[in-house]
Amino acid sequence: MPKELNGWLAEVVKAAKKRKAVIKDRERNLYDIKHSILKKKEEKLNPIIAEFKRSSPSGFRQDRDPLEYAKLMERFGAAALSILTEPLYFSGSYETFEAISRNVKLPLLFKDFVVTEAQVDTAYSIGADAVLLIVKILEYDELCFLYDYIKSYGMVPLVEVENEKDLNVANECCAEMIGINARDLNSLTVNVDRVAELLKIAPVKSIKVAESGIQERSQIIRLRESGADAFLIGTALMKYPEKIKLFI
C-alpha cells in the first residue's frame, strides 16, 4: 500500500488506485527523453520540459487548446512535454494525453500520482515515454517495483523528490533521472533555493530536472549552475507560451 497521506494528496491517491487501465496497442514510437535532454545540452540550449496543465491545488487555472500548445512548444524547441492526467485537482485526462501523443514527435512525460501497475500500463498504451514517480507518496519497495515496471516497457522513470531524505531514497533506488520539486506537496509553498541546494548533492550520473517555480531565465541560469540538466516549467508557459523562446 502507498504511504499514509492526508488532505488532497490522500484523496488523489485513493482515486488513482481506482482508475481503470487503458489497455490497447500503442500507436507511436518510443522517444528517448534522456537523449533529447542531452542533445539540447550539446547544442548549448536549456532543455525545457514544457508542461500542459489546466489547474492545480495551488489555485492555478489556465485553459488552452492542448494541441495548439503542444505543437507550439515543439516548434520552439522544447526537449519534451509533461502532461497532467490527474482529473480531480489538475483537470487532466488520459484523452488529452493521447490526443497530444498523436500530434507531436517529442518525448512525453506521463505526470500523475502513480501508485499502481495499471497506471503504468495506461501510460504506455496512450503514448508516454517517461512516467513520474513521487517518493513522497510511495514506500521504498513500491517505488523500486514501479521503477522497474516502467523500465520493462522501455519508458523512463522520473523520480521526484522534495528534500534530502527523498533524494537518498531515489539514490538507493538507482534512479537515472531525478526531478527536484520546488513545491512542497503538503503546504504547496515554493522554494527554488531548496532546489539549488539539493542539486549540489544529487548524484552526478543522474539526469537532474528542476521542477516548479521557474518564472524567469535568471532562475534557469542559477539552477543550471547548481547542476540542473533540464527544467520542467508549467505555470509560466501555460500563461505565456512564447516565453519558451526566452527560457531556451
Q: Catalytic annotation on 211?
A: yes
**Packing angle of the helix pair 192-201, 217-226 (nearest 10 deg):** 20
139 is a catalytic site residue: no
Active-site residue among 86, 98, 160, 162?
160
Instruction: For residue 160, indicate whether it is catalytic.
Output: yes
Instruction: Please pick, among 111, 136, 208, 243, the residue that the annotation labels catalytic.
Output: 111
Return d(Cα 133, Cα 117) in angstroms, integer: 12
The residue from 40, 46, 51, 243 that is catalytic is 51
Task: Write phi, then psi, for 178 (nearest 5 degrees).
Answer: -120, 130
Find the radius of gyration of the CA atoms of the chain. Answer: 16
User: Quick check: is 181 catalytic?
Assistant: yes
213 close to 58: Cβ distance less than 8 angstroms: no
191 catalytic, yes or no? no
Q: Catalytic: which of 46, 162, 211, 226?
A: 211
Is 98 tagged catalytic?
no
Catalytic residue among 40, 53, 208, 243: 53
Q: Are the beta carbons of 149 and 173 closer than 8 angstroms?
A: no
Catalytic residue, chosen from 55, 101, 212, 226, is 212
Active-site annotation holds for 197: no
Options 56, 82, 101, 181, the catalytic residue: 181
Catalytically active residues are: 51, 53, 111, 160, 181, 211-212
